[in-house]
Chain A
Amino acid sequence: MSCERIEDLLPAYVDAVLGNAERAEVEAHVASCPACASLLACLRTADAALAAFPEVDPGAELRDRLAAIAAPKPNFSIFALLRKPSLQPLLTAASVLGVVASLYLLNPGRREFEKSVVRTFHRGVGRVEKLYAQAGSIPGSIGSFAENLYASLRSSNPLERDKD
């Protein structure tokens, strides 16, 4: 029997499931063939080593990851977001702004209102310009006012009056 044929029979020989005739053939061949004898020894070693592979612990970190698979996912709710206390001042300001904006945008006399705003603005600007021009004449008139003020102060002060 060839080595190739014997090699195919070796697992069954190790498992002791060969018939008498085949078992005798394998034993006779192995006794005279170092390569097949070595393979038979390695097969027994491999079987024993595989059976003795240690079980490995997957670790706590993996266990946590696996447990999290079934954990309920937090649902995003717009109502929950709107109820957040920290958002209340912002929401109030936004509401007020919204009311004011809607009063303006939905007002049927909006164009007339815009015109009156522009008119008022221009009127205001004209008044400021007029006041600015008047302010230019103040340094001229303040001189006589200062002298009069000085004289009245002197007359009301008794020390200054005695000196005179």
Chain B
Amino acid sequence: MEAIIQGCLEGKEGYWNMLVDLFSKKVFNLAFQFSGSYQEAQDLTQDIFVKLFHTLPKYEAGRNFSAWLTTLAKNHLIDEYRRTKWEKKNRDDFDDQLLTAASGTGDPEMQLLQNESQRILWAGLNRLPADIRMAVILKEIQGKSYEETASITGVPEGTVKSRVNRGRLQLARILRETKEHSDEL
């Protein structure tokens, strides 16, 4: 990994492409899970890699590059989320999203998900505050440990546990309410 980064810093041909091949899927999926939109995730991934290109000289050799890049991506996603007020927009659309999620129709993103629960949770993630959503994505979807999640998010492990549990409970409530609502119809 250090050799690839060194090659990128020296501008050697092919090294940047190696870095892209190794990490583009990982960064894209984080952006996709966080934003809920394939198109938005493509643009966010590009922004993150532009940032990576310019901040790569600041990377300290010997550090966990994957965690460093994930932190960079997380910071960009949360900054962008706050700057563009996705939260307000997504909350305004939330009821519509849940109804289409439960029915299995709607956005092409929904077609990727295997069952009704996943579709409801995908839409439900948008309802979580940014910090809680990021903790849930890193721990529950991407399977990172509490320690890794704490390192990426820059908060103590206890705070991460609290955020993850609050997020899980909120998603469980959304799942229960949506299923009860669809049972009534």
Contact partners of B172 in chain A: CB under 8 A: 10, 39, 42-43, 45-46
B153-185 CB contacts (< 8 Å) to partner A: 164-165, 168-169, 171-173, 175-176, 179
- A53 part of interface (Cβ distance < 8 Å): yes
Contact partners of A78 in chain B: CB under 8 A: none
What is the CA–CA distance of A65 and B48 in the complex, to the nearest angstrom? 12
In the complex where A53-B33, A58-B24, A58-B28 touch, is A47 in contact with B168 (Cβ < 8 A)?
yes
- A55 part of interface (Cβ distance < 8 Å): yes
B8 touches A70 (CB 8 A): yes
Q: Is the interface of A mostly helix, strand, loop or mixed?
A: helix
- B112 part of interface (Cβ distance < 8 Å): yes
What is the CA–CA distance of A7 and B176 in the complex, to the nearest angstrom? 13
A50 touches B136 (CB 8 A): yes
State which size class the interface on A falls in.
Answer: 20 to 34
Interface size on B, residues (CB 8 A): 42
- How many Å from the CB of B128 to the closest CB on chain A? 12
- A149 part of interface (Cβ distance < 8 Å): no
Which of A10, A39, A43 has the most CB atoms of chain B within a 10 A radius of its CB? A43
- A118 part of interface (Cβ distance < 8 Å): no
- A62 part of interface (Cβ distance < 8 Å): yes
- A142 part of interface (Cβ distance < 8 Å): no
In the complex where A49-B118, A55-B29, A57-B25 touch, is A67 in contact with B20 (Cβ < 8 A)?
yes
In the complex where A43-B172, A55-B29 touch, is A50 in contact with B121 (Cβ < 8 A)?
yes
Contact partners of B115 in chain A: CB under 8 A: 49
- A105 part of interface (Cβ distance < 8 Å): no
Which of A10, A12, A62 has the most CB atoms of chain B within a 10 A radius of its CB? A62
B16 touches A62 (CB 8 A): no
- A87 part of interface (Cβ distance < 8 Å): no
Can you list 5 A-B contacts with CB-CB less than 8 angstroms, sorted by A residue number? A10-B172, A12-B165, A47-B168, A62-B46, A66-B49
Sample of 7 more A-B contacts, CB < 8 Å, known A8-B169, A46-B121, A62-B42: A11-B164, A38-B176, A45-B117, A51-B140, A53-B113, A56-B38, A62-B46
